[in-house]
Each structure stands twice: as structure tokens, then as C-alpha cells.
Amino acid sequence: MNAMTKILVALLALALATGAAMGQAPQVLNRFSSWAIVRSGELISLSSDSGNIGAGCSDSTMTYLMLVKIIDHSAVVWNPDVKAFYFHFTAWADDGPPSDFKLLVADKGDTSATGVVVLNPEFNDQNTRLWAMLKAARARFSYSTPSGTVRVSAVDLAPAIARFQEECAKIFVANAHRKLKEPIPMQWLNR
């Protein structure tokens, strides 16, 4: 099972845990060059064919969950302050400036790290900055550790992300109408 398959299995497990995907087979909504958008119940995923980068959303999370393949387990470091492992890497879009990031790793042996992208535009943490960087990539998105660099094609990534966000917005809005007293402002959904 490759890394992206494991990521999709984890996202599908999330959907099954919430009861969202009961009795529904995954459906490919769109393909954009090397990117695919898949729906399984109330779970939407965006993944690269390389299996190195992915994102997901569901009606139970009301956020975007970014997933990055761990390419160097020596870059997975324990943070005693929060009692969790983090994958440390540097990322950049196209020829843009690099930035350092740390994404949460559930277990040191895991194959991917996760970051939750909060939809509130006033919230600007590292996960939100990484999402913005991914959205800005036009030719390639890259990330590296001391042991090497991964380059992912970003050709057609902008329309893939736009479509992913449209699909997520549909389930977020439906969920907000069911569960929230105050709906999510629409401008949040276009981050």
C-alpha cells in the first residue's frame, strides 16, 4: 500500500467513523493533470498522483486537513511541550522563498504528517501559510529535509484546489445549516 493510499484510507476511516460514507463507493469527481478529487460520502480528498501531498475535508471536521509524506524519519522530532511528534521540513512554491514548517505526526513511524487549516481568515498559523503556499504554486511545489527534496507537479493545481474547495464548501454549508446557529461566512471558504 503506497503512502497516498494510506492517507486515503485514513481519511476514509474518518468518514466511516462519522458515519458519512456508509454504503457509498468512492467517486472520482475530477482529474487535473496529476491531481485527483475524490468523494466518499461526506469526505472530499485532493491528492497528487505521486502520493506526496494530499488534503481532505469532511462534514465532521469543517476544516481542511493537509497531509505531507514523511521523506526523512530523522526529521520527525518529539516536542516535549505538547507531547507529540512533528515532521520538520522546508517548503517552497515554484522559485519562491522557502519557509520552515512543522506538521503533527501521530506516531514516529507514520508515513505522513498532518496540518489542520483553519478556515477563519484572521487565523494565520503555519498550516494556513503552507496551504496558501500550495495554492500559489503554478509549476511545482517542493519540500525538503537534510536527506533530500521532493518535487510535486503543480500544473493544474490551482483549478484542482478551487474545485476541491467548492466541494468542501458544499458539505460545510450543509453541515452549518444543520448544526450551527450562525453559518460560516462564505469568504472563509475561499481561503
Q: Are strands 43-48 and 35-40 parallel, antiparallel or unpaired?
A: antiparallel
98-140 tens-digit pLDDT: 999 999 999 999 999 999 998 877 888 999 999 999 999 999 9
Give the pLDDT of residue 42. Answer: 79
Residue 98: what residue type?
A: P
Residue 39, CA distances (Å) to 80, 116, 137, 150 in order: 37, 19, 24, 27
Report for 12-26, 42-56, 88-102: range of highest mean pLDDT: 88-102
23-44 tens-digit pLDDT: 568 899 999 999 999 998 878 9
Q: What are phi and psi of 110, to 5 degrees?
A: -60, 155
Give the pLDDT of residue 118. Answer: 85
In the predicted model, what is the mean pLDDT of the chain? Answer: 84
pTM confidence score: 0.79
